[in-house]
Amino acid sequence: GQQLNQSPQSMFIQEGEDVSMNCTSSSIFNTWLWYKQDPGEGPVLLIALYKAGELTSNGRLTAQFGITRKDSFLNISASIPSDVGIYFCAGHHRDNYGQNFVFGPGTRLSVLP
């Protein structure tokens, strides 16, 4: 089935630094999504991207839907301690045969004060 790869697997940054993480796939998706998961909680939707090339911002977060429809990136500017968590990308594909919703393995972010 379709799989997503995320890089890096984990990262440690200083408070105030910018962060960038990627998600790639061998298959195309119609929609890319970015979620954040805190310990003991379910994932929370951060940004949804619906069109190839689309660049969308949500506060300090910016994400882009790759032109090839096989990748996406998420940037976080001026990181703060509450940015700590696991960031998942997810791809959604829908066609005449049904739909597929796949999560990546996640990028674990640690923010050092």
43, two tokens? 């994932």
Alpha carbon distance 71, 112 (integer Å): 28
AA letter at 102: V
Alpha carbon distance 30, 28 (integer Å): 7
Contact call for residue 42 and other proteins (CB under 8 A): yes
Contact call for residue 55 and other proteins (CB under 8 A): no
By residue count, the chain amounts to 113
Touching other proteins, residues 64-103 (CB under 8 A): 88, 90, 92, 94, 98-99, 101-103
As measured in angstroms, the least distance from the Cβ of 35 to other proteins is 8
Return residues touching other proteins (CB under 8 A). Answer: 4, 31, 33, 40-45, 48, 88, 90, 92, 94, 98-99, 101-106
